[in-house]
Structure 1
Amino acid sequence: MSRLILCTLPVLLAVATSACGDDVQTPASPTTPTNFTETFSGTLTRNGAQTHNFDTQASGTVTATLNVLTPDTATVGLALGTWNGAVCQIVLANDRAVVTTVLQGGVSAVGRLCVRLYDVGTLAQPTNYEVVVVHP
């Protein structure tokens, strides 16, 4: 019996140590998509609209913030949508947007999106604007 143990022991040690190595496998952690910030500006005229297109590189959250309106008491429409190559197909809209208004939505894949500003019947004169869009 002791001979069996003595013969078996080196085999077990060889098997046990062969599984050991310097390669440590760490599980892959999910990568956080890079967010891009784009600033769009221009002048919105009475009964007019302005559309700006942008491309997403991954799924994630899209945020549009109306940073500047001149005069800052103006009220306009602010929308996010998908760009089909000809028009901005509105998905989210706020028809009473003022300075600091934020629209936020989610995108599930790479795609072409758009942000649109438009007069909702309240502009008496041309209005300068700036919209900041953050997207994946």
Structure 2
Amino acid sequence: MNASELIGLNIQNLRQSRKWSQERLAAEAGIDRSYVSLIEHGQSSPTAKKLEQIAKALGVSVQALHHERGVNVPISHEQRLEAEPVAKLICPKTGVKMGEVYVWDNGEHQLSVRPEFEERFFPKEGM
């Protein structure tokens, strides 16, 4: 998976975890919806300014858009996959929603954790 595909997949996952449409993300970030689609499909490499706008709209850092998360799912145009959330991650003590589990069309599973919980409960290896 190249950098454009990774960033696109992360943007799509973050957008979907918020149950936002591409239209909503585009409006929140001040960019065109078709550009969001191109980025999510790995067909366009956004500029640093556009990444900042998208990250701000999603409430994450620009660095968070570069992190590898979950399963590497191919996102070639011909094999574009869709994911549906199948379970919510809820903190048993506080009841706060921490994230969701997605199942892709190809059967792969992916964990999407809200950024504020990711480092605390799912630290990167070697840290």
Q: Which has the larger radius of gyration?
A: 1
Tell me, yes or no, whether TM beats 0.5: no
State the structure with bigger RCO (CA 8 A, min sep 6), 1 or 2: 1
Which has more helix, going by share of residues? Answer: 2
TM-score relative to the length of structure 2: 0.22
